[in-house]
Amino acid sequence: MSALKILHYPDKRLHKVAKPVKHIDKRICKLVADMAETMYLASGVGLAATQVDVHECVVVIDVSETHDALRVFINPDIIWFSEERKVHEEGCLSVPGIYESVERANQVHVQALNEHGEKFKLECKGFLAICIQHEIDHLLGKVFIEYLSPFKQIQIKKKINQFDHAM
Ligand code: GNR
Ligand code: NI
């Protein structure tokens, strides 16, 4: 396994749209293992392949407190969104140091393949529902701050600029 480099906003590559995985082969299994290592090392609860500059539909999530419940989603598709929505504070490994409230569906039903190529459906609520929507957005080239007001987005860009210059 090897840890991968995580792209940071405003890197243009974060806006590429990921392509579906055609064959779950050794390369994809290694990508899943490397993404899991990268996510745990960075203390994240999820990671999309887009964030490590691989533009294929692969997501890993572990929302457990014990960090021992890895979930793998290949070609994930949200097949149902609840009408009920909820605001929750979000962060992103690709936008370090920024935490902002985002409104999303409270519950979603997701269909995907696991690393063995088996199709599964998962009913997600709570923090898992937020995470899977955040990760699938990455695969679509979308970063959570794009949900914020234009004013807020400019503020964040300024803050990131200052931070990058100080480094
Ligand atoms: O680690 C993460 N925490 C988090 C908190 C609230 C909402 C979403 C997330 S996902 C984020 C990891 C990440 O950037 N995944 O793309
Ligand atoms: Ni993210």
User: pLDDT, tens digit, for every residue of 24-59?
Assistant: 999 999 999 999 999 999 999 999 999 999 999 999
Q: In this structure, what token pair is assigned to residue 166?
A: 């100080």
Closest Cα to atom 13 of ligand 1:
92
- Token reading at 89: 């504070």
- Band of pLDDT at residue 90, cut at 50, 70 and 90: very high
Task: Summarize the confidence of residues 3-21 as an average pLDDT.
Answer: 98
Instruction: Judge whether residue 165 has pLDDT over 90.
Output: no
Residues classed as catalytic: 135
The yes-or-no verdict on residue 69 having pLDDT over 90 is yes
> If pLDDT is split at 50, 70 and 90, which confidence band does 22 have?
very high
Mutate which of 92, 93, 98, 99 to test ligand 1's pocket (most atoms within 8 Å of Cβ)?
92
Beta bridge partners of 112: 120
Contact 8, 143 (CB under 8 A): no
Q: Are strands 85-90 and 100-105 parallel, antiparallel or unpaired?
A: antiparallel
* 11: region left, alpha or beta (phi > 0 left; psi from -120 to 50 alpha): beta
Ligand nearest to C-alpha 49 = 1
